[in-house]
Amino acid sequence: MKDLLEDIDRWRAAGLRIAVARVVDIEGSGPRDPGAAMVVNEHGEVAGSVSGGCVEGAVVSEALAILAGEEASRVVSFGYSDDEAFAVGLTCGGTIRLFIEPLDW
Amino acid sequence: MALYEHLRTLLRDEQPVALVTTIAGPGVGAKLLVTPDGTVEGTLGHPELDRIAARDALAELEAGRSGVRRYGPEGQTTPEDLEGSPTVSVFVECWAPSPQMWIFGAVDFTAALAKVAKVLGYRVTVCDAREVFATRRRFPMADEVVVSWPGPLFERRGHSLGKRDAVCILTHDAKFDVPAVQGALATSVGYIGVMGSRKTHTKRLERLADVGVDRPEDLARLMSPIGLDLGARTPEETAVSICAEIIACRTGRRAPSLRDGAGPIHG
Q: What percent of chain B is predicted at pLDDT more than 90? A: 77
Domain coverage including residue B221 = 100-251
Identify the domain boundary among B39, B71, B95. Answer: B95
Q: Are B69 and B76 within 8 A, CB to CB?
A: no
> Is residue B11 in some structural domain?
yes
Q: Does A56 touch chain B (CB under 8 A)?
A: no
- Could you tell me which of B197, B146, B193, B17 has the C-alpha nearest to residue B92? B17
pLDDT-based confidence at A85, cuts 50/70/90? very low
Number of domains in chain B: 2
pLDDT range class, residue A92, cuts 50, 70, 90: low
The pLDDT of residue A84: 47
Is pLDDT larger for residue B164 or for residue B236? B236
How many CB atoms lie under 10 A from the CB of residue B111? 19
pLDDT confidence band for A80 (50 / 70 / 90): low
Asked if the Cβ–Cβ distance from B4 to A33 is below 8 Å, we say: no
Residue B29 has pLDDT above 90, yes or no: yes
Please report, rounded to a whole number, the percentage of residues in chain A having pLDDT higher than 90.
Answer: 63
pLDDT tier, A91 (very low <50, low <70, confident <90, very high otherwise): low
Last residue of a domain, one of B65, B95, B125: B95
A7 touches chain B (CB under 8 A): no
Q: Where are the alpha helices (DSSP H) in chain B?
A: 2-12, 47-63, 79-82, 108-119, 150-157, 174-185, 198-210, 216-219, 235-251
Q: What is the mean pLDDT of residues B161-169?
A: 94
Cβ neighbours of B28 in A, within 8 Å: 72-74, 101
Interface pTM, i.e. ipTM: 0.90
- Which residues 17-36 of chain B have a CB within 8 Å of chain A? 21, 23-24, 28-29, 31
Question: What pLDDT sits at residue B77?
Answer: 87
Shortest distance between the Cα of A24 and any Cα of chain B, in A, equals: 6
- B197 domain residue, yes or no: yes
Q: What is the mean pLDDT of residues B96-104?
A: 92
pLDDT in tens, B180-197: 999 999 999 999 999 999
pLDDT of res. A94:
77
Q: What pLDDT score was predicted for residue B110?
A: 97
Q: Does residue B127 lie in a domain region?
A: yes
Structural domain contains residue B90: yes
- pLDDT at position A93, please? 66
> Is B261 a domain residue?
no
- Of A75, A71, A37, the C-alpha closest to A56 is A37
- Hey, are the CB atoms on A75 and B24 less than 8 Å from each other? yes
The string of pLDDT tens digits covering residues A49-61 is 998 777 889 999 9
Q: Residue B246 falls within a domain, yes or no? A: yes
The verdict on residue B199 lying in a domain is yes
Q: In chain A, which among 24-43 make CB contacts under 8 A with chain B?
A: 24-25, 33-35
Nearest to B31 among A5, A24, A105 (CB): A105
